[in-house]
Amino acid sequence: MATNNINTGTQGTQGPQGPQGPQGPQGPRGARGPSGLIGRIGLTGNQGPSGADGTSINFKGSLAYSTSLSTLSPPPVKGDAYFLSDSNEIHIFDGNDTWHNTTQLKGEQGISFNFQGSTYDDVSIQALNLGVNDAGKTYLASDTYKLYVWNGLAFTVSDSIRGEPGQPGGSATGPTNSVQVRNGDTTNGYDSFTYDNDLFTIGARNFTLNQFQIAIGNRAGSSQIDSISIGSGAGQNSQNRGTIAIGNQAGTDRQQEFAVAIGYQAGEVEQGNRAVAIGFYPGEMYQGGRAVAIGDLAGKDHQGVNAVAIGASAGKDNQADNSIVINATGAVLNNTDASTCVIKPIRGVPATDTSTNVLMYDTDTGEITVNTGSKTFVIDHPTDSNKYLVHACLEGPEAGVYYRGTGIINEGDKYSEIILADYVKHLATDYTVNVTPIYNEKENTFSNIAIKRVIDGKFKVYSDKPCEFDYVVFGKRNDIVVEPEKTNVEVKGDGPYKWL
């Protein structure tokens, strides 16, 4: 059979799309997709109208019978309520001639307890032969501290009525008729105690306190009689008799007999016998016996015996024995020299002040006085032990200074130059000089002598022959008003001690 080979030509271009056919039937529903995000909460709607007012109840009392409600006088008003004992109900009046009753309020009949004693244990109570007529009999089991109540048929058993054991008390025993309360214990509503002779303690911890002592505060007080300690840690360790410690850590450690410490850490460590410390940190460390420290930080550290410090930071560090410091400067003022007195501030007067007051100190009595008359002072008589010697100060119409000395004019010289101290020219003015030549007994001669004015703190003495001489230089330091008008000044002071 012959085979014909036919060659295929190239593919032609695609023809135009034909018209859309009719829609086919709907396919089955697909699976549900995940939920979308929740939208925002919508706005709150308007508030609805208020409900009707309720009825307030005014409980008036109780009545024996319900028939009594209709005979009340004065008539009831809306809200009046009564308890009716015959029905155990409460009736409330609605204001429209109608009473509304509640359900019964009375519970089931209870059982009257008839306590039989506590001489029974659990086993013996269960073995008792009790009947219906024995209902209410109650027994306490002495071994378990449970109550057994017979209800006519069986026992109802309570839990143990025994409380937890209390904590053991301290080993120390208080004095007769004393009141002792451990830290943390309640006082049955009382926060203080009245006690006739012995112990009175509030808030103290871990201490045995003796007669006539008051200790108030955490760790306050130690073990001596006739002492007072108030405040946390006040008088905590070895507080001695007759002491007072008031304030946080006042007199904390080894406060000595009859010492007084008042204030924060006043006299904290080893305050001396009969010492006094009052203020903030006064006499804090090793205050000496009979010392006094009053003020913020006064006599704070190692104040000496019999020392006195008054004022803030007065004698703060190492104040010497028998010394006095009075301080109002606001800064530290110490005094480390024994038997001395330091006072600051003391007002200085200006150069034009006309006061003639002089501060005077009596070495016998220790009195300080002001002398506005003659300015005298007293010294022991140099030759007669039965007498004093009284000297007075020179007075004049100016505040003067003087300088004196001795000079010499040698052979061949015409003069001798006297040079005063360097500071003199800065201190005074208006100098005058007195010169006295010394008689030459060997030569039997007299010298004619003269001077030049003091210039720049020095002057020259001239003589017609060699000689020795003495000199005195006077100067004026300040001016004073010698004769003031009474209408222009105010006299201060009383008695003989007056000043302007």
What's the pLDDT tens digit per position in 347-399? 654 444 444 456 665 555 555 555 555 666 677 888 998 888 877 777 778 88
| Residues 150/137, Cβ–Cβ less than 8 Å | yes
Q: Is the pLDDT of residue 253 over 80?
A: yes
Mean pLDDT rounded to a whole number for the chain:
77
Closest residue by Cα to residue 179 from 205, 167, 197: 197
Is 179:143 a contact under the CB 8 Å cutoff? Answer: no
Least confident of 160-169, 332-341, 414-423, 483-492: 160-169
**Bond before 25 cis per omega within 30 degrees:** no
- The alpha-carbon radius of gyration of the chain (Å, integer) is 56
pLDDT of 35: 67
Cβ neighbours around 365 below 10 Å, total: 8
Lowest mean pLDDT across 9-18, 132-141, 146-155, 431-440: 9-18
At the top level of CATH, the class of 399-478 is mainly beta
- Between residues 122 and 444, the one the model is more confident about: 444
User: What does DSSP assign to residue 69?
Assistant: G
Whole-angstrom distance, CA of residue 156 vs CA of residue 121: 15
Q: What average pLDDT score do residues 214-224 get?
A: 67
Q: What pLDDT, on the 0 to 100 scale, is given for residue 6?
A: 54
Percent of the chain clearing pLDDT 70 (strictly above)? 73
484 upstream amide cis, omega within 30 of 0: no
Q: What is the pLDDT of residue 319?
A: 94
DSSP labels for 390-428? EEE----SSEEEEEEEEEEE-TT-SEEEEE--GGGGGT-
* pLDDT, greater one: 185 or 78: 78
Q: What is the pLDDT of residue 187?
A: 43
- Mean pLDDT, range 254-278, rounded to an integer: 91
Q: What is the mean pLDDT of residues 435-447?
A: 89
pLDDT band at residue 222 under the 50/70/90 scheme? low
Architecture of the domain defined by 58-101: 3-Layer(aba) Sandwich (3.40)
The residue among 93 and 52 whose pLDDT is bigger is 93
Is the confidence at residue 121, as pLDDT, over 80?
A: no
User: How do 228-230 and 244-246 pair as beta strands?
Assistant: parallel
Of the candidate ranges 45-59, 343-357, 413-427, the one whose mean pLDDT is the lowest: 343-357
Instruction: Report helix, strand or coil for 62.
Output: strand
Beta bridge partners of 438: none
- Per the CB < 8 A criterion, the answer to whether 477 and 428 are in contact is yes
- CB of 320 within 8 A of CB of 340? yes
The helix or strand, by DSSP H or E, that contains position 126, with its residue range, turns out to be helix 122-126
The edge-to-edge listing of strands for the beta sheet with 467-478 is 399-409, 467-478, 429-437
Segment 149-199, tens digit of pLDDT: 888 888 888 777 676 666 655 544 544 444 554 444 444 444 444 444 444
